[in-house]
Structure 1
């Protein structure tokens, strides 16, 4: 299909997000990184402190849910054969990580997906003020670890990929792909939270991608969206990340088939982690913007009570080799691979009051990404105070190379 040349974006600098947010200015990081507390205004310090306190409450709630998902693996750790199997899995991923080769760690799909499409509900079209379709296709993913292929193949609902596509009638257009955070898969929520009408009115098509085990991909009887990510030990998490990368690349194959030749990628939290990883694997991503990303989930969970106690109990029962575990966790980490988009096409966004994905996490990625563009706001993980400010920053950042 011939490619369609893209016209200049219709910038909307005066647009307001669908969910009103206080427009308290953030700023780009300095050469030394994020600002120190003394660098903030009194108003900014007040917002950061109150945001952090609210995040602590949310973090404890989420940690309790994650603890519940880990109960089966803790119970399984009491059985020595299962403990030995877990050690074998860790060795498998540690060896893959040591090669630092994304082509080996994350093999590309070998066939174009057969996509089915249907109109989204009227609410979605009303929010977008445009053409919105829900799409789906069967995942072609095969577990990277041969020992887990039968298990992963058995996840029937998870192996159907879902996404929502906001398209202009004169498309295809440059496309902004969005990856949600842990448990936050609802299209309506993400359309509003990410202020996607802002980008749609700016001239972009938009694609909302559903991560494995979330939304309609959650297995039957899952207690909540995302349950499967942490319910099967580290090996299960590693394969979920591998499938997230694989299925997204199939989605890019589909976009290319329809004539899209420019794709930018953003994501929040777990979606930020995933977007950073994808940008190290697929060279078709023109720009990547992780938003409040987690980049070392193992270290982050160490601070999440009561999930940290559950992890410590499991490791104590199993007798986990910490060095081996640390090596294995690098397999699905964006810190293990070099980013493919040029430095001027990387932008990281962090919230100074974030306590679910502390700003230090974003700073680690910033260092790994050669100190690329880095913007902060004074809110937390969910309350993105100053969102209008960073939406303008994102729009300016992408416009130069996403449109002619």
Structure 2
């Protein structure tokens, strides 16, 4: 199962020689080709007829749960959206990121972090989650070297001091470093215990993989102490902070990769749910060192996703009117961190996309959109929704077999 670590230069050279996939800059940008009504188009998969009760029943439940999350996000966005003093700066910020998105130059947007970041760790304390069963675990952290891309928001963004410390929980094997799975949680859902159990990460550990569960910006201990919920800071300070948070997450993930490879991991891959799936796919456009990428129910087009939810649709409409931006301008202003905006670095045979037929947080049409961006990548549907993964045992087995093959 071991796979020799490959340097960035070696992988970049190999990727340049492939030449089999058209360059992104040779095609129109996705935000121009995606229909304006994409957010409300109908969905369907081959599982609908086979498991109608599971698919449509879980879809109905998803809409109810989605409304609860949308209400939380809307409450965090509303104060800034209604503040007149932020209108002009929001418009200028969107244009800053839109111009960068137009270039579709991943190296310019995703600045490579230094190799010498000091990562420190400690064993689980009494109130911290421990997997038990004799699994050696470390709570890791480092001072994030990330600097915001937009100098106009740098001071404000970096003023959130707790957010500047990246955190993760690392499960290791006593015999030494193994192929490693980086797992990235979804929005709000930062708890290590929840993700470990919900995604059966112990199975991957028992199969021989080390596991690193990361904490995303503004979540958990990275959030401000007075934040009403985990992830609040992603949405409370406007589009610029949201954009920079995505870039920040990718920078931190690259530091974690550097740490794992420096420690001796023979290979490193990534998977995550929803926002974690989005960031997994995004990392694969800047990190050719990945052995595999498995986005699960990935967010793909954030503006369109939020337009499909209520009450966030209304908030987006208010915001667009106040800053003089239509949905296309909002798409363009947030495309700087979309995996659809850049050429994938991984061979599509190393990408496995998972989607729920009844998912109404990130419906099947978004999963297909990402799949189309990686022609010949693997695609697996399960008959559940975003929160209840009916048939999860099947895709966990497929994930394990897929990872074994990619890490040989």
TM norm. shorter chain > 0.5: yes
> Equivalent residue for 1:373?
378
Q: 1:53 — aligned with what?
A: 60
Match of 2:239 among 213, 229, 234: 234
Task: Please provide the CA RMSD for this pair.
Answer: 1.8
Q: In 2, Cα distance between the equivalents of 1:56 and 1:177?
A: 29
For 2:45, the equivalent position in structure 1 comes to 35
Residue 55 of structure 2: SS of its match in structure 1? helix
The residue number in structure 1 matching 2:179 is: 174
Q: Structure 1 residues 88 and 5 mapped into 2: Cα distance closer, same or farther (>3 Å)?
A: same
- Post-superposition shift, 1:47? 0.5
* Contact 1:128-1:197 at 8 Å conserved across structures: no
Matching residue within 63, 68, 72 for 2:70: 63
- 1:128·1:166 contact (CA, 8 Å) conserved in 2? no
Task: Please report how far the alpha carbon of residue 247 of structure 1 lies from its aligned counterpart in structure 2 after TM superposition.
Answer: 0.8
SS of 2:163's equivalent in the other structure is coil
Distance in 1 between residues matched to 2:70 and 2:326, nearest whole Å: 24
Q: Taking structure 1 as the reference length, what is the TM-score of the superposition?
A: 0.88
How many correspondences in the alignment? 369
Alignment match of 1:258 (pick from 258, 263, 267): 263
Secondary structure of the corresponding residue to residue 286 of structure 1: coil
Distance 2:179 2:344 in 1: 21
Between the aligned partners of 1:216 and 1:264, the Cα distance in structure 2 is 25
CA shift at 1:75, angstroms? 2.1
How many angstroms apart in 2 are the aligned matches of 1:133 and 1:347?
Answer: 29
How far off is 1:5 after superposition? 5.1
* Residue 84 of structure 2 corresponds to residue 91 of structure 1: no
Q: Structure 2 residue aligned with 1:274, among 279, 282, 296?
A: 279
Aligned CA distance change for structure 1 residues 121 and 201 (closer, same or farther; 3 Å): farther
Counterparts of 2:113 and 2:362 in 1: how far apart (Å)?
Answer: 31
Which residue is 1:305 aligned to?
A: 310
Residues 354, 381 of structure 2: 8 Å contact kept: yes
Alignment check: 8 A CA contact 1:164 1:209 kept: yes
Q: C-alpha separation between the residues in 2 aligned to 1:299 and 1:336?
A: 15
How big is the shift at 1:101?
A: 1.0
Asked if the contact 2:223/2:230 (under 8 Å) is kept, the reply is yes
State the partner residue of 2:322: 317
Structure 2 gaps, min length 5? 5-42
| SS state at 2:181 partner | strand
Deviations 1:146-169 (A, max 9, x none): 111111221100000000000001
Give 3-state SS (helix, strand or coil) of 2:122's partner: strand
Per-residue deviation at 1:91?
1.3
Instruction: Determine if contact 1:124/1:132 at 8 Å carries over to the other structure.
Output: no
Quick one: distance in 1 between partners of 2:147 and 2:335? 20
Q: Does residue 1:140 correspond to 2:145, yes or no?
A: yes
Q: After superposing the two structures, state which structure 1 stretch, 249-258 or 127-136, moved more.
A: 127-136
- Give the distance between the partners of 1:143 and 1:124, measured in 2 at CA: 32
In structure 2, the residue matched to 1:200 is 205
What SS does the aligned partner of 1:294 have? coil
Larger displacement relative to structure 2 (326-335 or 208-217) = 326-335
Identify unmatched segments of 5+ residues in structure 1: 8-32
* Secondary structure in structure 2 of the residue aligned to 1:330: helix
Aligned counterpart, 1:113: 117
Identify which range, 257-266 or 126-135, moves more after superposition.
126-135
343-352 or 103-112, which deviates more: 103-112
Decide whether the 8 Å contact of 1:141 with 1:246 is kept in 2. Answer: yes
- Aligned partner of 2:347 in structure 1 is 342
Structure 1 residue 60, shift from structure 2 partner: 0.4
Partner secondary structure for residue 45 of structure 2: coil
Deviations 1:229-277 (A, max 9, x none): 1111111110000100001111111111111130110010000001100
CA contact (8 A) 1:128 1:200 kept: no
Structure 1 residue 74, shift from structure 2 partner? 1.3
> Matched residue of 1:302: which SS?
helix
C-alpha distance 91-330 of structure 1, shift in aligned 2 (>3 A): same
| TM-score computed with the length of structure 2 as normaliser | 0.87
1:61 offset after TM fit, Å? 0.2
